[in-house]
Amino acid sequence: MSEESKETANEDILEKLRRRNAAQGASNTQRSEVRQRFLAFRLDQEWFGLEVQQVKEISRLDNVTRVPLTPEYVMGITNLRGNITAVIDIRGVLGIEYQALTAQARIIVAGVQGLEAGIIAEQVKEVVEVVKSQIEPPLLTLGHERGKYSSGVVQQANRMLVILNLNSILADLKI
């Protein structure tokens, strides 16, 4: 995979997201209910959401260099435009079975306050808009770890979206 096409692919996805955000943001102000937008991505059969504001970039999974003496969930480090960025695979942490990563796999670069990391997604689908009041607290049945790293769940037409708490993921899983 050349640098060039990788960049283009990223730019395309990001650009689409931005446009959609802008459109939704415009309509958002006219509604009384507070809405939030999440980037929906898939791990195994489940869907997770990250707050769109926290997502900086979506990148193809390319040339991750593994780093010794790091926990299992640290896949390694990769070069994102000259920045060395950690790539973490939260599947193990969330108790999700490992599936072989395919060409659909992406790195979602997300972060808070300038501290960013790449999170492995088996597939990145779309940005979904959710009415805030529809977000329910994390299910107790999710188990300890999953409860810790999610801030809520939203039932959608055909799936359940688990909203991830990026703050606690980055803070807790930092080496």
Partner 1 sequence: MEYNLDVTAEELKIFLDEAEEQIQRLNEGLLALEKNTDNKLLQDIFRAAHTIKGGAATLGRVRMTRLAHALETALNRLRNGELHPEPRLIDLMLQATDGLNELCHELAGQEIGDLELDPLRVMLENFVSSQPLVSETAPTPNTLIPLASHLLPLTSQEQIEAQTALNAGLTFYQINATLAPDAFLPAARLLQLYFALLPLGHILKSNPTIEQIEQEEAGTTLTLIYTSGSSTTEIEAVLEVATDVKQWQLDRFDPAGLFNLPLVETVVSTEVNPLLSQSTESLALSSSSHDEIQEATQDVKATAAAAANSAEGKTIRVNVAQLDRIMNLIGELVVNRTSLTHIAKKLEDSGEKSNLVGELNETLNYLSRITDDLQENMLKTRMTPIENMFRRMPRLVRDLARQMGKEVDFILEGEQTELDRSIIEEISDPLIHLLRNAVDHGLESSVAREEAGKSRIGHIKLSALHQDGAVFIQVEDDGRGISPAKVRQKALDKGLITSEAAARLTPEEVLNLIFLPGFSTATTVTEVSGRGVGMDIVRTNVTRIGGTLELETVEGQGSRFIMRLPLTLAIIQALLVTVQGTHYAIPLGSVTETLRVSSSDIQTVEGVPLVRVRGKFLPLLTLEKALGFSPDPKSADLNTTLDYTIFNEEYDPFERQFLSGYDKLFPVVAVRFDRFQVGLVVDGFLGEQEVVIKPLGWYVGEIPGLAGAMIEGDGRIALIIDIPSLLRATLRGDQAQLRASLSSLVNNNL
148-151 long-range contacts, Cβ below 8 Å, gap at least 24? 148/172, 149/90, 149/93, 149/94
Q: 160: helix, coil or strand?
A: strand
Site string for partner 1, 50-89 (x = CB under 8 A): -----------xxxxxxxxxx-x-xxxxxx-xxxxxx-xx
Helix (H) or strand (E) holding 115: strand 115-121
* Separation in Å, CA 142 to CA 30, 137, 145, 147: 35, 11, 8, 6
Residues 105-124 that bind partner 1 (CB under 8 A): 115, 117
User: Could you tell me the sign of the dihedral formed by the alpha carbons of 89, 95, 43, 113, in that order?
Assistant: negative
Work out how close the CB of 164 gets to partner 1 at its nearest, in angstroms, rounded to a whole number. Answer: 16
Report in angstroms how near the CB of residue 98 gets to partner 1 at its nearest. Answer: 5
Write down the least CB distance from residue 109 to partner 1, Å. Answer: 12
Instruction: Give burial (CB, 10 Å; 0-12/13-18/19+) of 59.
Output: buried
Verify binding: residue 174, partner 1, rule CB under 8 A. yes
Q: Please, which residue, 89 or 138, has the CB nearer to partner 1? A: 89
Point out which span in 10-18, 49-57, 140-148, 167-175 binds partner 1 (CB under 8 A). 167-175
Q: How many residues bind partner 1 (CB under 8 A)?
A: 40
Q: To the nearest whole angstrom, how small is the minimum distance from the Cβ of residue 20 to partner 1?
A: 29
53 or 83: whose CB is closer to partner 1? 83
Beta bridge partners of 153: 136, 162
Structure tokens at 55: 């997502």
**27 vs 104, beta carbon nearer partner 1:** 104
Chain residues that interact with partner 1, rule: CB under 8 A: 2-4, 61-70, 72, 74-79, 81-86, 88-89, 91-92, 98, 100-103, 115, 117, 170, 174-175
